[in-house]
Chain A
Amino acid sequence: MKLRLTTLALGAVMAAGPVMADLVFPSLSYRTGAYAANGIPFADGYEDYFTLLNERDGGIGGVPVKVIECETGYNTEKGVECYEATKGEGALVYQPLSTGITYQLIPKATADGIPVHSMGYGRTSAKNGEVFRNIFNYPANYWDGASVAIKHLLEQNGGDLSGKKIALVYHNSAYGKEPIRTLEELGKKHGYELMLLPVDHPGQEQKSQWLQVRRERPDNVIMWGWGVMNSVAIQEAVNIRFPMENFIGIWWSGSENDVLPAGAGADGYKALTFHNLGDDYPLYDDLKQYVVDAGKAAGAGDQLGTALYNRGLYAAMLAAEAAKTAQEIHGTKDITPAMMRDGMEALVIDEAKMEALGLPNFGPEFSVSCENHGGDGRGAVAQWDAEAGQWNMITDYIDTDQEVIGALIEEDSSAYASENNITPGCD
């Protein structure tokens, strides 16, 4: 009898508890497969930031955050399954960390009214928010990356690239093909010759590509790689004694996992980034206190401070800030995906905000608007110091060639709009 009473009382308490639902942030991660080495740190960072918010602040604006993790294995079919399985739980924003899955989700999420944030990946022309109302890719996109790399090379060569030969080693998929058009246009403008070297999934076999590099001797190699392809490419470059300082990877080819296997040979390898590196931030103290020491870290908890972990943190931080903005705009704590979209569109990240979050000087300042879902697109160059085992930023955030990129985005997004009968607008 007593037991039954207790159960009843417990049931009543639970029923009378706050009806406020959690803020749901699905994490479409991949901890298995050929891309796991890069997928794990990002997923850990993403989850740990939300755990920190829950433990330290009780969530966002007092509403607890729930992260639903779903393993995609970087596979689009599983990505669709994950999307369908989690969207019913009130998912606020999707960050699939895969260009293939992003392409898959753009039409679906637009139809369902759920925003997608493809941070530094996905469909570049989604920067045009008038066409892609629900898709965001701030703070930078692939074409910005291509432009930053070329600007860096221009600076190194005294502002002149004419007659130079630049090779692009890329993952032969939607992801790797994204920058080709931009690099071709920039080639016309600056007079360099572009050489294309596709690498097929998963990229463990690259002997022929690097043999070609050895034979044709390009002045610089730019890489659009991901997963196991990165470390193999860097190892091959070391093997043919390609000068590392002439080798630049996109931000997805710039993690510790990519350079460590090549040992001292990888010293001097450069990679782009759109946020700061290392773990020298006040936020890390909180992370240690509330998450790691409390035994609540995601995964094995050994990824803190790595480049991709920081990117996961950054992605989660931008999502949390957008949710806060949405709560302010709509005056309610319990936001819907539509409100989240408004929050993302009104997002402003400035130095004061980052400082307050314990991440001073962590990323570039930018703001999002309906016309511009991609931020300012600034990126920096980092260089690997093999001896110290860390990345060092060697430039400031570089402004990109918006003249070239803007025209391409306009062209691509208007093609998408006419294909799908979308009337661009900001109503």
Chain B
Amino acid sequence: MIYREAGDFSSTYVQDSQTFPIKFDRYRYYLVLAVAFLVVPFVINDYWANAILLPFLIYAIAAIGLNILTGYCGQVSLGTGGFMAVGAYACYKLMTAFPDVNIFFHVILSGLITAGVGVLFGLPSLRIKGFYLAVATLAAQFFLVWLFNRVPWFYNYSASGQISAPERTLFGVEVTGPNTEAWATYLFCLVFLTGSAIIARNLTRGTLGRTWMAIRDMDIAAEIIGVNPLRAKLTAFAISSFFVGISGALFFAVYLGAVEVGEAFGIQKSFLVLFMVIIGGLGSIFGSFAGAAFLVLLPVVLKVVGADMFGWPTDIVAHLQLLIVGGLIITFLILEPHGLAQLWRVAKEKLRLWPFPH
């Protein structure tokens, strides 16, 4: 009844091609933005920021990045952790080499550097496909982690091989380092996530996104109708790595503050982001958000329910968590292979007919 196109007339082309053509959707979107920007910063505390919201925002950026490559362009990548490490180490080197430049630009620059590295490792995708490409990106994952562990220049020759983020401010407010306020780090990441989502959404709706999808659906056919596979695949790698690099930089500088490459950006990180994309929904920006929220929140919820409410031993809760997350992933893949985003789509279709289905 409320969720329908009828009665909402577009009188300009801009209006006609907007992201949310349905009025209800549009207002819901504005409401979410308003709550995220104007309400949450006032009620947030350290626990909510560091345990739930920061990881969610940062993983959502990484999931958007991987979704562009895997969901839209169809190139399976297991190198997300390695590319996040590139973002983190680029950000660290930039922060320490140019302390006077604003951290905001460092994060963007780290994204650009990661994009360059991504293109380099994307080159084999022109010759190999599917599982073989997955193995090639796996090589990137292991090589990059090894590189950052092996070459002391990347961690400024510190004795422990750890990198730690120095204090940096934005408009006089600290966003990295130990003395940050929860709302500042939250807003900083939220701005990046909002920007990333808007850019990604509009890219995937435009020419570039359509060439990616053409390559994903059938690359030979796409080539015949005039899509340049070199350009399509390499742009997908570059843009995907750009977002992944930004998330790596934020993960290191804002969220954790100190990382060790093998532990923070190992292969399990690549799988985690891949699971987010698969559970959330391949080829959907909303799916990236849903997948990130699901995999960040679920362990915390299980822990709070199991250990804090029922007082079960912590090791049993940790094991249960593995069981439940694993079980849910399998259940999802069987019952809804298109992920949470598909559930959302079905719900919207139903809502459109409500309350008078045929």
A residues lining the B interface (CB < 8 Å): 29, 31-32, 36, 40, 69-71, 73, 75-77, 80-81, 84-85, 87-88, 99-100, 103-104, 107-108, 110-111, 123, 172-174, 177-178, 180-181, 198, 200-201, 299, 412, 419-421
Using a CB-CB cutoff of 8 Å, which residues 147-171 of chain B contact chain A?
149, 159-162, 164, 166-167
A200 to B166, CA, bound (A): 27
**Distance A198 CA – B146 CA, assembled complex (angstroms):** 11
Min CB distance, B201 to chain A, in Å?
Answer: 28
User: CA–CA, A31 to B315, complex, Å?
Assistant: 5
The 3 closest A-B pairs by CB, nearest first: A107-B178, A31-B315, A174-B160
Is A76 touching B256 in the complex (CB atoms < 8 A)?
Answer: yes
- Chain B residues contacting A178 (CB-CB under 8 Å) are 159-160
Q: Which residue in A40, A84, A87, A123 is a CB contact (below 8 Å) of B160? A: A123
Interface 9-residue window, one of B84-92, B114-122, B259-267, B285-293? B259-267
**Chain A residues, Cβ within 8 Å of B164:** 103, 107
List 30 contacting pairs A-B, 8 Å CB cutoff, sorted by A.
A29-B314, A32-B315, A40-B315, A71-B303, A73-B318, A75-B263, A76-B260, A77-B55, A77-B256, A80-B51, A84-B46, A84-B47, A85-B51, A88-B47, A99-B160, A100-B260, A103-B164, A103-B258, A103-B260, A107-B177, A107-B178, A108-B257, A173-B262, A173-B263, A174-B260, A178-B159, A178-B160, A180-B159, A181-B159, A201-B262
Q: Which residues of A have CB within 8 Å of B315?
A: 31-32, 36, 40, 71, 299
Minimum CB distance partner of A79 in chain B: B256
Among the listed B47, B177, B258, B307, which residue makes an inter-chain contact with A104, where contact means beta carbons less than 8 Å apart?
B258
Chain A residues whose C-beta falls within 8 Å of the C-beta of B266 in the assembled complex: 201
Q: Is there an interface contact between B46 and A111, defined as CB atoms closer than 8 Å?
A: no
Residues of B within 8 A of A77 (CB): 55, 256, 264
Interface membership of B33, Cβ < 8 A: no
A419 touches B166 (CB 8 A): yes
> In the complex, are the beta carbons of A31 and B263 less than 8 A apart?
no
Say yes or no: B318 contacts A80, CB within 8 Å: no
Q: How far is the CA of A299 from the CA of B259 in the complex (A)?
A: 31
Q: Which residues of B contact A36 (CB under 8 A)?
A: 315
Give B312-346 as 1s and 0s: 1 = Cβ < 8 Å from A's Cβ atoms: 01110111000000000000000000000000000
> Are B159 and A172 neighbours in the complex by a CB distance under 8 Å?
no
Min Cβ gap B159→A in Å is: 5
Contact between B314 and A420 (Cβ–Cβ < 8 Å)?
no
Given known contacts A71-B314, A73-B318, A76-B263, is B162 in contact with A108 (CB within 8 Å)?
no
Interface residues of B (CB under 8 A from A): 46-47, 50-51, 55, 149, 159-162, 164, 166-167, 177-179, 256-260, 262-264, 266, 300, 303, 307, 313-315, 317-319
Chain A residue contacts of B257, Cβ below 8 A: 104, 107-108
Bound CA–CA A68/B315 (angstroms): 13
Taking CB atoms, residues of chain B closer than 8 Å to A104 are: 256-258
Instruction: Please determine whether B314 and A69 come into contact, CB atoms closer than 8 angstroms.
Output: yes
Chain B residues with CB under 8 A of A110? 178
Return the contact of A201 from the options B159, B162, B256, B263 (Cβ within 8 A): B263
Minimal Cβ-Cβ distance residue in A for B300: A81
Report the minimal beta-carbon distance from A390 to chain B, rounded to whole angstroms: 27
Contact of A173 among B46, B161, B300, B318 (CB under 8 A): B161
Residues of B with C-beta under 8 A to A108: 178, 257
How far apart are the CA atoms of A425 and B206 in the complex, in Å? 60
Residue of B nearest to A125 (CB): B159
- A71, A75, A180, A198: the one contacting B317 at CB < 8 Å is A71
B258→A107 contact, CB < 8 A? yes
What is the CA–CA distance of A161 and B95 in the complex, to the nearest angstrom?
43
Contacts A77-B264, A172-B262, A173-B263 aside, 14 further interface pairs with beta carbons under 8 A come to: A29-B314, A31-B318, A32-B318, A71-B318, A76-B263, A84-B46, A84-B50, A88-B47, A104-B256, A111-B178, A200-B262, A201-B263, A299-B313, A421-B167
Q: Using Cβ atoms and an 8 Å threshold, which residues of chain B touch A32?
A: 315, 318-319
Contacts of A85 in B (CB 8 A): 47, 51
